[in-house]
Amino acid sequence: MKKTALITGATSGIGKATAELFAANGIQLILCGRRQERLNQLQTDLSPLTKVLTLNFDVRDRSAIAKTMETLPDEFSNIDILVNNAGNAHGLNTIDKGSLDDWDAMLDINVKGLLYISKAIIPQMVARKSGHIINIGSTAGKEVYPKGNVYCASKHAVDAINQGMRIDLNAHGIRVGAVNPGLVETEFSNVRFKGDEARAQTVYRGFQALKAEDIADIIHFVVTRPYHVNIADLVVMPTAQASSTIINKV
């Protein structure tokens, strides 16, 4: 039987590349995001390959999430794979200069949003004693870098939640693991720098950054292992990157 995956943040970057690769491999898709035009485009592009349902909500909106998940069409109601991917950095400032709005956004989206979605889907996985949750963390969840403070805190929280989920869902036979990328060239830095394209591009200049497709490939590898194999925690960087601050730029 075909598997069904729900991917948050499917309108761009890692989530979109994962949706495309899953579709090419016949996985049914529930694709989430806020930009309706992009959801429509994904529906058009991927429907010839697999069944696609698009859902528009903000992961901060817990009541919208709960309502949407309670009213899924029958053919999408059994979710086998949850990819908790929606998230971003907002701002890059020393802690004394950080914006409260940026801090709220990162903690509300990257941490609480991931929890709200998980809370809506875990009960059906527990009932079926089967399921796979992939949490997209970051190298920023493994180490802290200058001016990364609250984004790093949000990804350290994802790291802790990933471990907590794995421990608490162990008795139910559910697979839980994190994929933690280093620098991936997506819309991530455009969002971090609030649309300043030129500044965003400098982040990936002088070395070969990871592509969204590289991470999608890894996520697909993770979900296609035999059921007794759980990739619990995976860190992946560009070859040119050794840590958050050590990057071999030419």
Residue 241 partner contact from ligand NDP, ligand 8X3, none using kind-dependent CB cut-offs of 5 to 8 Å: none
Interface residue with ligand NDP, options 4, 18, 54, 88 (CB under 6 A): 88
Nearer CB in complex with ligand NDP: 173/206: 206
**DSSP tally for the chain: helices H, then strands E:** 9, 9
Among this protein's residues, is 204 annotated catalytic? no
* CA dihedral (200, 205, 210, 211) positive or negative: positive
Residue 244 partner contact from ligand 8X3, ligand NDP, none using kind-dependent CB cut-offs of 5 to 8 Å: ligand 8X3
Site for ligand 8X3 in 117-146 (CB under 6 A): 138-140
Q: How many CA atoms lie within 13 A of 107 on its CB side?
A: 9
Please give, one letter per residue, the 3-state secondary structure of 70-121. Answer: HCCCHHHCCCCEEEECCCCCCCCCCHHHCCHHHHHHHHHHHHHHHHHHHHHH
Nearest CA among 20, 69, 77 for reference residue 49: 20
Q: How many CA atoms lie within 13 A of 54 on its CB side?
A: 22
Nearer CB in complex with ligand NDP: 10/27: 10
Interface residue with ligand 8X3, options 72, 125, 183, 237 (CB under 6 A): 183
Nearer CB in complex with ligand 8X3: 122/155: 155
- Residue 169 CB, nearest approach to ligand NDP (Å): 21
Q: 76 with 23: CB under 8 angstroms?
A: no
Q: How many CB atoms lie within 10 A of CB 114?
A: 27
Write the single-letter amino acid at 188: F
- Residue 226 CB, nearest approach to ligand NDP (Å): 26
Question: Among all residues, which ones are annotated catalytic?
Answer: 151
User: Which residues contribute to the site for ligand 8X3 (CB under 6 A)?
Assistant: 138-140, 148, 151, 182-183, 244
Residues that bind ligand NDP (CB under 6 A): 8-15, 33-35, 38, 58-60, 85-88, 109, 136, 138, 181, 183-184, 186-188, 191, 212
